[in-house]
């Protein structure tokens, strides 16, 4: 989008829905700032525990609920219970946020969500707006998990099965693979989160991922086992 398209782009309104963890908030917030600088209206939907800590030029911040009050978040001991609550309450309040803008000058046109929150895409489709998945993992890590999802890489990977060969990547030894892959029994919930990214990805209008061109040029151009890999953010 060029600089002379600001007026046109400002008719677009993208709501960003991050996983409320710093390493996931920052990449999506940077992308929101980039789109805002191009004239797109950007709204960052943050949970009550993070909403007061997020500021960015030209990016509005709106609260959605994860089911917990700000003072209660520290008491959440299990990631699984948090994610379940976030799905329930986040879906409801994200719908309300979209409705809030429906009759404004800037109705929501797209939901860009952290890929670990596939329920946000379901909300987008129910509300009749576009859905864009933002994959925080690097393209190389995404490629590994997408092949596991397709059954092209079997878990757990045994020592006698290495190196694992994946198009666009150097041969991967045990120490090169994500620990969730090498020892899935130790991290069942987090492995499930990784693979759940693909549960409805075929319905996404756009898919974006982090990529390091100098390090991942081959994997970026290889035949990733996801035919709808539509976009790369460098």
Indicate the length of the chain as a whole number.
Answer: 234
pLDDT for position 76: 43
Number of domains in the chain: 1
pTM of structure: 0.81
Q: Which residues are catalytic?
A: 24, 114
pLDDT for position 7: 47
pLDDT for position 172: 85
Domain containing residue 95: CATH number: 3.40.50.2000
pLDDT for position 186: 84
- pLDDT digit string (tens) for 37-89? 999 999 999 998 888 889 888 999 999 999 876 544 444 457 888 899 999 99
> Is 56 within a domain?
yes
171 preceded by a cis bond (ω within 30 of 0): no
Q: Which residue has the tokens 């690097």?
A: 138
First CA to last CA distance, the chain: 15
Measured distance CA(111)–CA(205) in Å, rounded: 10
146 preceded by a cis bond (ω within 30 of 0): no
Q: Work out whether strand 130-138 and strand 206-210 pair parallel, antiparallel, or are unpaired.
A: parallel
> Three-state SS for 105?
coil
- pLDDT digit string (tens) for 14-23? 999 999 988 8
pLDDT for position 217: 52
With a CB cutoff of 8 Å and minimum separation 6, the contacts of 217 are none
With a CB cutoff of 8 Å and minimum separation 6, the contacts of 39 are 1, 5, 6, 7, 8, 9, 10
Which residues of the chain, if any, have pLDDT below 70?
1-10, 69-77, 210-234
Tokens standing for residue 181? 């892959």
pLDDT for position 63: 94
> Is 85 within a domain?
yes
Four-CA torsion 74, 76, 80, 85, nearest 10 degrees: -100
> Is 34 within a domain?
yes
pLDDT for position 187: 81
38 touches 11 (CB < 8 A): no
pLDDT for position 146: 84
pLDDT for position 228: 39
Cα angle, residue 86 at apex, residues 85 and 92 outer, rounded to 5°: 100
> Is 93 within a domain?
yes
> Is 164 within a domain?
no
> Is 30 within a domain?
yes
> Is 76 within a domain?
yes
> Is 5 within a domain?
yes
Quote the domain boundaries for residue 108: 1-128
Measured distance CA(110)–CA(62) in Å, rounded: 15
């Amino acid at each position: 989008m060029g600089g002379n398209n600001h007026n046109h782009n400002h008719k677009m309104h993208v709501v960003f829905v991050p996983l409320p963890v710093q390493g996931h908030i920052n990449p999506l917030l940077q992308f929101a700032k980039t789109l805002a600088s191009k004239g797109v209206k950007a709204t960052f939907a943050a949970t009550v525990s993070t909403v007061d800590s997020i500021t960015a030029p030209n990016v509005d911040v709106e609260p959605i609920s994860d089911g917990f009050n700000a003072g209660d978040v520290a008491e959440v001991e299990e990631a699984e219970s948090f994610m379940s609550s976030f799905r329930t309450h986040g879906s409801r309040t994200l719908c309300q946020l979209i409705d809030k803008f429906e009759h404004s000058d800037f109705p929501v046109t797209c939901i860009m969500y952290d890929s670990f929150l596939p329920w946000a895409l379901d909300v987008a489709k129910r509300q009749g707006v576009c859905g864009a998945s933002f994959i925080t993992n690097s393209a190389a890590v995404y490629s590994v998990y997408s092949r596991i999802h397709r059954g092209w890489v079997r878990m757990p990977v045994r020592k006698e099965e290495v190196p694992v060969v994946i198009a666009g990547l150097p041969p991967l030894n045990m120490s090169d693979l994500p620990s969730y892959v090498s020892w899935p029994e130790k991290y069942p919930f987090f492995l499930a989160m990784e693979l759940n990214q693909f549960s409805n990805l075929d319905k996404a209008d756009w898919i974006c991922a982090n990529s390091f061109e100098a390090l991942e040029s081959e994997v970026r151009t290889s035949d990733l086992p996801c035919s709808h890999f539509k976009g790369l953010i460098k």
